[in-house]
Amino acid sequence: MKRIAESTVRRLSLYLSFLEQRERDRVNTISSDELAHLGGTTSAQVRKDLSLFGSFGKRGLGYSIPELSGKLREILGLEKQWRVCIVGAGKIGAALARYRGFAERGFVIAAVYDSDPAKLGKKWESQAIRDVANLAKDALSERFDIAVVATPPESAAEVVKVIVEAGIKAILNFAPTQLTVPSDVTVRAVNMAIELEGLSFALTNRAR
């Protein structure tokens, strides 16, 4: 498969979330116009995005929602189970460990790590918090697919080094810092500061 831009993958996720909403409302077909409207893009863009993965929809009839949503779940890798370890047992880590959307999407929290002796061994949902010193060893036997970095920014680089050495190829970063990883490791960041600054920029420019 050729390289797909991150912005395209983001739109596929959005399309899928709309399709799933329509599935819950028991609607069976959707037009590219409607998908475009919901996703804040054009119907030409929708058709282009979907054509990367095959031929969908019938002219004048729109897309079959069950068919398209199934295909998108397959493309996005959501029909597998992914083993996730969370590094950093603070507030963000706690919110993640309880986040319903994780399990629904096949992301299984397999372990939670911290370095604070006061936290080690405490139970979080079904997980006892483990010592981050054991992460590399555990990753070998438990084959984590994804690591979530939920540490303070000053610890993130060190933790990422361990994650990469453990052979984990996907990282979700919540630490407000830029991570450096080899090219075969994919990082996605959830950076609240950037979103907040976007809002303050918008408010500032309104006021002028």
Residues 150, 92 contacting (CB under 8 angstroms): yes
Helix (H) / strand (E) containing 109: strand 107-114
Which of 29, 32, 36, 33 shows the shortest CA–CA distance to 14?
A: 36
58-87 residues in contact with a second copy (CB under 8 A) are 75-78, 80, 82
Of 54 and 60, which has the nearer Cβ to a second copy? 54
Instruction: Determine the size of the site formed for a second copy (CB under 8 A).
Output: 60
Options 33, 158, 165, 197; binder of a second copy; rule CB under 8 A: 197
Residue 201 within binding range of a second copy, rule CB under 8 A:
yes
SS (H, E, C) 160-185: HHHHHHCCCCEEEECCCCCCCCCCCC
Residue 190 within binding range of a second copy, rule CB under 8 A:
yes
Whole-number Å distance between alpha carbons of 88 and 110: 14
Helix (H) / strand (E) containing 156: helix 153-165
Of 118 and 193, which has the nearer Cβ to a second copy? 193
Options 28, 42, 66, 99; binder of a second copy; rule CB under 8 A: 99
Whole-number Å distance between alpha carbons of 50 and 11: 10
Residue 143 within binding range of a second copy, rule CB under 8 A:
no
What is the binding site for a second copy (CB under 8 A)?
1, 4, 6, 9-10, 12-14, 16-18, 38, 75-78, 80, 82, 91-92, 94-96, 98-99, 101-102, 105-107, 145-146, 169-172, 176-178, 184, 186, 188-190, 192-206, 208
